[in-house]
A = this chain, B = another copy of it.
């Protein structure tokens, strides 16, 4: 295919190029004609340059110009000239010049667009994804994909300079129980057998530590066959990282330095040298969740004592067993927001989603409590107000529950809603570490303990003696990195002792035989001098989403699946030829209602 190749891009030309002969290649972003004069905004990845077909142009050129429509791909040969005084566009980098066209070649034409190519495409998502190749021409998403490149590149540069090797691990592996469901890949050569796509390179990176690679990372594709849930993708990308001979704080420090550097270089944002560390329990008590948004300062407070001193039996009942809690927060008086009954009902509704039976409240006015449950706090106005640090016009929200965690997360939902509704959220990026997680949680349904994080994480050493007798109280050497209310990384110091590892498997209901069957190669490796090691895995999609100020990871992935796991562009998943199924020795058992 012959065509005139660009000598400059559409973002290159400046005043100093006046008089230069150039060739531009790009897309017709906008075109308009004023009688016999045609103005074409020609766009490529690098910018937009105005092309003019003057009224003295040849009739051939005039005819070509008249044919042009939006998104035609063209080559323009012409001469740079200064725009007339009044025509200078200070908002375009190339706004002082234009190119007078000598000839235009149409490289390809464009059918009627399903939507306009703008900075932001406000079309509904399935149409955007159906025509993703066009959607990706929009300036906003193109910039986000570019930023993602720079972000990941900066991570690689930092870690490589620190002596980490990026090592590729296989993605056709053995199916292992690891939290979510595995995607399976049928083997053609071994009928009835399957590979699985990795939920993460967890076991492989631990093996690399056993191999002595010392510092490993990988920008790794991971797979989880989970039910559609808002923003989840079937495949996602994480920075997978592991180090030998480390303790928790080595990993935390490394991450602080990594993100410090990368945010500085790529986001042009200065992070503090260290991120706050908050114990899991404190995070629940103060923020009502284990991924607190620190960008606003409303803190939940312990209301147990005041609740006990009140005459409200609901509070007393919640505390009776000794496992319950009462927590309160103060919603600050905010201009433009009225704490009406309707609004308070909305707050209560938010709490109920997380299991609260109700939300108690009181207002503060003239240094006194009023409304809501005020009558149960007779004579306690001053004590309540001063303890909580409330002021006139504030709203006190209180949640009581006979389960501590339920109390906390319910009030945490109220806190989150207030943050948004009262415009309390500061701009910027606020990281923190959540540490001292419980190692196990009890699976009520299946009636046994399971790993809160995963089964390879080490307990904190002071809990080793009571590991089996009291799993519920064991804290793990676990850490989550949280940014602006999102969990963006999760990690731990790993177990490297084969007997301890087996003990953990047993607590999680895998007897030695099952453990050997599923994780034999890890247990084998642990017989041959495994080093102490630990790691972490920040999620790339989510980090880039937050950095670019988006609410969905779809906005930072070139070709995402939609919310129900379908790619509206290529139509996947799709039926395949019978021949393909036969080769894989597979038959489909359609569920009855779906049989076709």
Contacts and interface: CB of A to CB of B under 8 A. Distances in A.
Interface size of A as a range: 35 or more
A1 B496 CA distance: 9
A213 B580 contact: no
Interface string A196-209: 11000001100110
A134 B211 contact: yes
Contact of A573 (B193, B204, B561, B582): B193
Nearest to A577: B175
A185 B561 CA distance: 15
A107 interface: yes
A423 interface: no
Interface stretch (A118-126, A291-299, A562-570): A562-570
A148 B218 CA distance: 13
Contacts of A386: none
Contacts of A110: 527-529
Contact of A137 (B27, B73, B132, B212): B212
B585 A44 contact: no
B45 A1 contact: no
A137 B525 CA distance: 12
Contacts of A583: 181
A136 B211 contact: yes
A188 interface: yes
A128 to B, nearest CB: 12
A64 B587 CA distance: 60
Greatest chain B CB density within 10 A among A560, A564, A572 is at A572
Interface in A537-596: 557-561, 564-567, 569-576, 580, 582-591, 594, 596
A167 interface: yes
B192 A590 contact: yes
A543 to B, nearest CB: 14
Interface stretch (A32-40, A227-235, A353-361): A227-235
A184 B187 contact: no
Interface of A: 1-3, 5-6, 25, 27-28, 43-46, 71-73, 107-111, 113, 131-134, 136-137, 142, 145-146, 148-149, 152-153, 156, 160, 165-175, 181-197, 203-204, 207-208, 210-215, 221, 223, 225, 227-228, 234-235, 237, 244-247, 458, 461, 493, 496-497, 520-521, 524-532, 557-561, 564-567, 569-576, 580, 582-591, 594, 596
Query: What 4 A-B pairs have minimum CB-CB distances, sorted nearest first?
Result: A136-B211, A193-B573, A187-B573, A110-B529
